[in-house]
Amino acid sequence: MRKEIVIILFLVLITSCLAQELTFQRDNYSPSETIIGSVDNIISPLTASDLKVYEGRREVFFEKGIILANNTHYFYIIPTKEGEFTLEINNILYNNSGTVSSISLEKSFNVSLINSSIGFGIRPGVYEGSKPEIVVSNLKSEKINLTINNDSIELGPLESRKVLLVVSDGFSKYSLGNYSVPIIYYGLTQDETNTSLENISKENISVNKYSTCITIYYPPFFSLAINESRNYSIEITNNCSEKVTNLSLETNYSGITFYKNNLELDVGKTFIVDFGLFSKESGEYNENLSFWQNNTSLKIINLKMYFFENKTNLETLNQVYDTKSVENCSSLKGKVCSEKETCNTEKVIYDKAAGKFCCLSECIDPNAKPTNWLNIFVALIGIGAIGLAGYLLFKRSKGLKAPKAEDKFKEAEKKYERKFEPTKK
Same domain, 132 and 105: yes
Domain that holds residue 246: 195-308
Tell me the one-letter amino acid at 410.
Answer: K
Domain membership flag for residue 4: no
Task: State residue 182's pLDDT score.
Answer: 94
Whether 51 maps to a domain, the answer reads yes
pLDDT at site 36: 95
pLDDT of residue 38: 93
Residue 166 included in any domain: yes
The verdict on residue 5 lying in a domain is no
Residue 327: how many CA atoms within 13 Å on its side-chain side? 12
Residue 340 lies in a domain: yes
Q: What is the mean pLDDT of each run of 10 residues along the chain (425 residues)?
A: 49 48 86 91 85 88 87 90 90 81 90 84 88 87 90 88 90 92 76 36 48 78 76 84 87 84 85 85 82 83 76 36 54 76 66 68 72 72 80 68 61 66 54
Question: Where is the domain boundary, 148, 163, 185?
Answer: 185
Does 214 lie in the same domain as 128?
A: no
| Residue 264 included in any domain | yes
Q: How many domains does the chain have?
A: 3
Residues 218 and 80 grouped into a single domain: no
Q: Are residues 202 and 132 in the same domain?
A: no
Do 164 and 69 share a structural domain?
Answer: yes
Residue 159 shares a structural domain with residue 223: no
Instruction: Mark which of 281, 308, 335 sits at the end of a domain.
Output: 308
Residue 282 to residue 224: CA distance in whole angstroms: 10
**158 and 46 inside one domain:** yes
CATH code, domain carrying 261: 2.60.40.10
Last residue in a domain, options 308, 336, 352: 308
Which pLDDT belongs to residue 80? 82
Which CATH number fits the domain that encloses residue 95? 2.60.40.1220
